[in-house]
Amino acid sequence: MKTLYRQFTIATLFILAISILIGFTIANIFYITVTKEETIEQNVGVAQEIVATVQNVPYSEESFDRYMQAVAKLGYQIALVDNAGDMKFYGEPFDDTAFPEEAQRVLTENGTYTGLDSFKDQIFMIGHFTNELHNTVGVPFERDGENYGLFIRPDTKLLGTDIHSVLIGFVVAIGLVSIIGMIWLARQLTRPIVQLTEATKHIARENYNYPLDIKRNDEIGQLSESFNLMQTQLQQNDLARKSFISNVSHDFQSPLMNIQGYADLLKSPDLPDADRLAYTSIIDQEAKRLSSLTRQLLLLTSLDQGAYPMKSKEFKLDEQLKAVVRKYRWRLEEEDINLSYSLAPTLFRGDAELLDNVWDNLLTNAIKYNKPGGSIEIALKTIGPDVIVTFKDTGTGIAAEALPQLFDRFYRGDAARKKDGTGLGLSIVEQIVQLHHGTIKVNSKIGEGSEFILTLPHSDVKQT
C-alpha cells in the first residue's frame, strides 16, 4: 500500500527538486541575458586597465612579474602569450592551457578575445566556472617593441568569499529545515488518520468505546468530533436494538407460556366445564395479544425503514373518525364511557390506512385508561393549512415524569401493566404523524385525564 505519509514525503521532495530545477533555469536565463555580457565587459575592462598600466611604464622584467603576480593575487588567473606562442602564467594554474585558435587574432590583428562567448556548448552558466585558457578574455599589448596577448579570467576559487560560505550555509540550512519540517508535518497529518482507521476497525467489531483522543482545531479535529458523535449514536442505537430485541422476546415469551400452560391444563379429562371455558378464553386472549403484537411490530419495522410507500389519497377525515368510533361503540357501552365528537367535514390528503391506525390507537387508549362513567371528546377542525385532531379523555392521566418516555417503544405506564397492551401503540402513532409531517402533543394531569393534540399540515385541505 502507498501510505499517505510516503506519498506526502515523495511529493514534497519532488516539489523541492522541481523548484531547484526552475530556480536554476531562471538563474541561467538571467546569467545568459544580463550577467554574462557584464562579466565579459568587466573582464575586458580589467585586462585593458592592466595593459594601460604596464604598457606606458618601463618596468624591469622583475618588476613586471611582481606587478602581474600582485594583480593575480587580487583574484585573477593571467596568461601572457607572445608572438612565438610562448606563455607565462600568473596566479592559479589553468586546468587546460591549450591556446584557442580564435585567440590568435589578439596577436595578429590587435583584436579582443572573449572566450566566454565560445562556451556555447557548455550547459548554461557552468561555462563560467571552467578553469581553462579557452575561458578567458584577451587583449593585445606591446612591450619593448614586441606584441603580446594578455589573457585573464577571474579566479573563481578566490571569488568564494565568507559571504558566499554564509549564504551557502543559509541555503543548506533552509533546505534541511524544510525537509525535516515537511516530514514532521506529514507525520502530524497522517497520525490522526491512522488513529481514525484503527477506531473504525473497532466499530466494525461492535466496540463502541474506542477512545479517540484527537484534539485539533482544524478539519481533522472536526472529523474526529463527528466520529466520536457517530460512535455515541451507534452505541445508543446498539443499546436500543438490544433492548428492543429483549423486550420483543419477553413480550412473545409470556403469552406463549400462558398458552402452553393452559393448553396443558385443558388436556385433563375431568376438567369442569366452567374451567375449560375460562382457560379457552385465556388462550384466545393471549393469541389475540400475540397477533396484535406481531401486527404492530410489522408495521413499526416497515415504518422504520424510512422508505414506507405512502399511499396518499384524498379522503374524508371526519368520516374516517366516525367509522373508528362506530367500531368501538360496543366497548364504550360496555365500559360505560360517554363519547362525544365535533368533527368539521374535512377532505384530507394522506395515507388513510396508516391514519386509521392512529385513531384506533388513540381511541382504544382513551377507553383503556379511562374510568367507568368517564367521557371522551374527539374534535376535528382546520386552522389555516393545518388539520387539528384532539382526543380528550377523563381517564387516569399521565404523570409528568412519564411524559418524556410516552412515545418510546415498549413504554408502558405502571398502571397500564394490568391492562392489555404492548407499549408500541404511541410510538407507531408518532411515526405515522411524522410521516405526514405533523406533530403530536400531550396535555395530561394525573387523576384528571389526558388530551392528545395532533397537527397535520396539508396544503390541499379543503372544507366540504
Strand partners, 96: 132
Instruction: Pick between residue 327 and residue 412 the one whose CB is nearest to ligand ADP.
Output: 412
Rule CB under 6 A: say whether 395 interacts with ligand ADP: yes
Least gap, CB of 424 to ligand ADP (angstroms): 6
Taking CB under 6 A as the binding criterion, the range among 96-104, 115-123, 363-371, 454-462 that sits at the site for ligand ADP is 363-371
Taking CB under 6 A as the binding criterion, the range among 28-36, 262-270, 342-350, 360-368 that sits at the site for ligand ADP is 360-368
The only residue of 366, 380, 389, 440 in contact with ligand ADP, by rule CB under 6 A? 366
The only residue of 155, 251, 286, 393 in contact with ligand ADP, by rule CB under 6 A? 393
The only residue of 138, 199, 369, 438 in contact with ligand ADP, by rule CB under 6 A? 369
Residue list 145-164, contact with ligand ADP (CB under 6 A): none
CA distance 134 to 91: 16
Instruction: Pick between residue 99 and residue 407 the one whose CB is nearest to ligand ADP.
Output: 407
Distances (CA, A) of 109 to 45, 50, 140, 141, 146: 19, 20, 9, 11, 14
Least gap, CB of 332 to ligand ADP (angstroms): 14
Least gap, CB of 278 to ligand ADP (angstroms): 24
Question: Minimal CB distance to ligand ADP: which residue?
Answer: 413
Instruction: Pick between residue 136 and residue 394 the one whose CB is nearest to ligand ADP.
Output: 394
Least gap, CB of 194 to ligand ADP (angstroms): 47
Task: Decide: residue 395, CB within 10 A, 0-12 exposed, 13-18 middle, 19+ buried.
Answer: buried
In the three-class reduction of DSSP (H, G, I as helix; E, B as strand; rest coil), residue 73 is classed as: helix
User: Which helix (H) or strand (E) element contains residue 390?
Assistant: strand 386-393
CA distance 4 to 299: 48
Least gap, CB of 249 to ligand ADP (angstroms): 17
Instruction: Pick between residue 89 and residue 341 the one whose CB is nearest to ligand ADP.
Output: 341
Least gap, CB of 381 to ligand ADP (angstroms): 20
Residue with cell 575561458: 135
Neighbours of 370 (CB within 10 A): 23
Least gap, CB of 296 to ligand ADP (angstroms): 8
Residue list 402-441, contact with ligand ADP (CB under 6 A): 406, 411-413, 416, 421-426
CA 443: distance to chain centroid? 44
Instruction: Pick between residue 395 and residue 438 the one whose CB is nearest to ligand ADP.
Output: 395
- At 353, list the grid cell: 390506512
Least gap, CB of 224 to ligand ADP (angstroms): 39
CA distance 105 to 113: 8
Residue 105 contacts residue 113 (beta carbons within 8 Å): yes
Rule CB under 6 A: say whether 456 interacts with ligand ADP: no
Q: Which residues does 424 contact at the CB level (< 8 Å), separation at least 6?
A: 293, 296, 297, 300, 409, 410
Amino acid 277 reads: L
Rule CB under 6 A: say whether 360 interacts with ligand ADP: no
Least gap, CB of 273 to ligand ADP (angstroms): 33
Closest CA to 393 of 429, 427, 342, 444: 444
Neighbours of 296 (CB within 10 A): 19
Instruction: Pick between residue 143 and residue 392 the one whose CB is nearest to ligand ADP.
Output: 392
Number of residues that bind ligand ADP (CB under 6 A): 20
Which own/partner pairs from 48-51 qualify as long-range (CB within 8 Å, at least 24 positions apart)? Answer: 48/139, 50/150, 50/152, 51/139, 51/140, 51/141, 51/150
CA distance 94 to 156: 11
Question: Where do contacts with ligand ADP occur on this chain (CB under 6 A)?
Answer: 361, 365-366, 369, 393, 395-396, 398, 406, 411-413, 416, 421-426, 450
